[in-house]
Structure formats: structure tokens, C-alpha cells
Amino acid sequence: MFITNGTKADVVNTVVRTGGPGVKWVSLILVDTGTEGFSVGRKLQKMGMLSSDTAELVYEDCFVPKENLIGEEGKGFYYLMAGLERERLSGAVLSYIMAELALEDSIEYAKTRIQFGTPIISYQAINHMIAEMATEIEAGRQLSYHTVSLMNAGVRCNKEASMAKYWCAEMLLRAVGKAVQIHGGYGFIREYRVERLYRDAKLQTIGGGTNQIMRNVILSEMGLRVR
């Protein structure tokens, strides 16, 4: 479920259980989409991120040759975990970039929208929202850059990557909410980019590990056990 580009893929990297319970029996296997028993159940109709499809995939008695195993049997969970720092960091970066777009559009609109004879950017209610957006975006950018510096130095940064994703995703929701508010009725209209950013933003708090999971990871990395 929720497989990005699932309707277009020729090969699917599939997480499977190749033995008993526990993570030591999780493996990765490539499944050709032409394999008998494999099918695309349906293309899911999403709220946002409409530029890529998301699908439900169905496996019914799919027999796959053993040479399709990726790496070693039973190491699939660890292969997946090894990529999470980069995935979460990329999610953080995408979030603050989307927030930057919302800020740019808001500034441009507020400069050109005239109300009561003056651009609305001159009103404190509007320019305070812009100042808040700019400050929170910069905080997210610097947290992401710090995580990049650790990763480039070969330092384990699971805590920092989780912090960056959590902060930037939450910040993005606040930023696009302010952007739509600044645009007023036009923020609700598809002619304006902030409407799309508003719909797309929510996924950032879900994909790659929900923000609730990010909190758990942060606490775990701090040495505080989470049950």
C-alpha cells in the first residue's frame, strides 16, 4: 500500500519475510511486475503530491527466483535502516524548500495586493506572519545544514536527521497555512501555487516516518527508552 510510482514500475523492490518472526528474517527481493500473480490493485486518489502516482500492489502466489534476492538473506531490515538518515534529511530539505516557495509567493502577493489604498505588506498583521515564516524557515535550514555536515563527516546523525525532519515538516504546515491566509480567497484557488503547496505539505509529516515516530527516535537517541 502507498507505493510511489507503483503503476509505472517495471521492477519492485519488495520487503519480504523469508523465515520466522523478528527482524532477522526480513529480506529484500526484486519482483518483476510481469511476474505471474503480481498486479496493481488500484491507483490511489490523493489529496496532494499529484505529480507522482501512488498505488496499491497485489502479490498472489508470486514465485520469484532466488537470484532476485538483494544482498544477504535476513539483512533487509538493516539495509532499510541504513538509508533512513538520508531519507529523513531529504524530507527535511524538501520541507524547508516548499516553505521558502510559500514565503516568496506571500511576499510578492503582499507587495502587489492593494487594500484601502496601500499594499497589504504594510499591515502589521501581514508582515508579522512573513517575519515568522522567514525565521522558522531559517531555523529549519540551519538544522538541516548541520545534519549534512555530520553526515559528510561520517558521523552517525539519526537524532539530528529526525529532528530536522520533524521540525521542518511541522514548520512547513505553519508556513503554508500563513501563506494561504496572506493570499486570502486567492489562497484557496488553484491559480495560485500556495494552494498546491498547502495540499502537498501534509505528506511531509507522514512519509519517511511520521512526526510521532520522529519524536520516538529522538528520545531513543537521547537514551530515553520509548515503549
CA 72 to the chain's CA centroid: 29
Query: Strand, coil or helix: what is 49?
Result: coil
- CA–CA separation, 8 vs 12, rounded Å? 10
Q: Where are the alpha helices (H) located in 33-119, listed in sequence order?
A: 76-82, 84-112
In whole angstroms, how large is the CA radius of gyration of the chain?
Answer: 22
CB atoms within 10 A of CB 86: 14
Backbone angles phi, psi at 11, to 5 degrees: -135, 140
Q: Would residue 87 show up in a list of annotated catalytic residues for this protein? A: yes
Catalytic residue of the set 56, 87, 132, 221: 87
Which DSSP symbol is given to 22?
A: S
In this structure, what DSSP letter does residue 212 have? H
Which residues neighbour 205 within 8 Å (Cβ) at sequence distance 6 or greater?
169, 170, 173, 211
In whole angstroms, what is the distance from residue 147 CA to residue 145 CA?
5
* Torsion angles phi and psi, residue 26, rounded to 5: -95, 130
Q: Which three cell numbers stand for residue 164?
A: 530536522
Catalytic residues: 87
